[in-house]
Amino acid sequence: MKLTLHIWRQKNASSPGKMVRYETDANEHMSFLEMLDVLNEGLIAKGEEPVAFDHDCREGICGSCGFVINGVAHGPLPSTTVCQLHMRHFKDGDELYLEPWRAAAFPVIKDLVVDRSAFDRIIAAGGYISVSTGSAVDANALPVRKKDSDMAMDAAQCIGCGACVAACPNASASLFLSAKMSHLGLLPQGQPERMERALNMVAAANEGLFGSCTNIGECEAVCPKGIRLEFIARMNRDFLKAAWTFRQERVESD
């Protein structure tokens, strides 16, 4: 199949960028990134600069890949990362527009590559869990309700790709933030630092220039792992409880 690609090209973070048009051929069995590999091979053969894009495992696990395809983060197929999106979902003659994530917290490094280290700082702010090292405990020593374990596993599926931020009109990181809080906050091991973790991670998100959540729902719609909005409600409850608890402790100490 023949495709027309309009790709955002930007030399570096300080240079202005623009959309550049390319014509390329693709096989329906290729993944989207393999199609870009073919495009880059052609550009290199002509002595031109290849298109820069993030990728690593190409199995929808690492969260490295990700850009906007025709206005949709990760492209038109629900619950799919760009690396797992295949060309059979497009038609011969399609015209595609490829852009990087657009958010103040994700500055463009080059072409389709953005700096997502703000996510790393949020994770670091979450700290640790109080679990003793040594041999593994017996499976029944820490009973966990089935509902809680299922929700914790659902939250832990978040791969930190940043699609939620790119899709949100406010560039909010609330879906990512709530998933990372919840998968620990729902389990016994995460309870000792639960309140402090909520305050620290929200503070890190604010420092990272992410916007506020207004429950529009675009984040859930584009999340490749199907993280649900209900986790944001859980995060808000933890944050409010933590803020009130620490306020009370300060008042009593004064």
pLDDT of residue 253: 66
Are residues 232 and 175 in contact, defined by beta-carbon separation less than 8 angstroms?
Answer: yes
- From-to residues of CATH 1.10.1060.10 in the chain: 116-253
Q: How far apart are CA 213 and CA 234, in angstroms?
A: 13
Mean pLDDT of 58-72: 95
Per-residue pLDDT band at 245 (split at 50, 70, 90)? confident
Which of 189, 75, 205 is closest to 130 using CA atoms?
Answer: 189
Domain 116-253 part of CATH 3.30.70.260 = no
pLDDT at residue 249 in the model? 67
- pLDDT over 60 at 251, yes or no: no
* Backbone torsions φ then ψ of 200, nearest 5 degrees: -70, -40
Where does the pLDDT of residue 250 fall: very low under 50, low under 70, confident under 90, or very high at 90 and above? low
Inform me whether the pLDDT recorded for 127 exceeds 90: no
Q: Which CATH architecture has domain 2-109?
A: Roll (3.10)
Model confidence band, residue 129 (pLDDT cutoffs 50, 70, 90): confident
**What is each CA distance from 26 to 41, 47, 69, 129, 207, in whole angstroms?**
13, 21, 16, 47, 42
- Give bridge partners of residue 7 from the DSSP assignment: 20, 98
Integer CA distances (angstroms), 44 to 39, 40, 47, 50, 209, in order: 9, 6, 5, 6, 37
Give the pLDDT confidence score for residue 252 in this predicted structure. 64
Confidence (pTM): 0.90
Pinpoint the residues of the chain covered by CATH 3.10.20.30.
Answer: 2-109
What is the SS3 assignment for 19?
Answer: strand
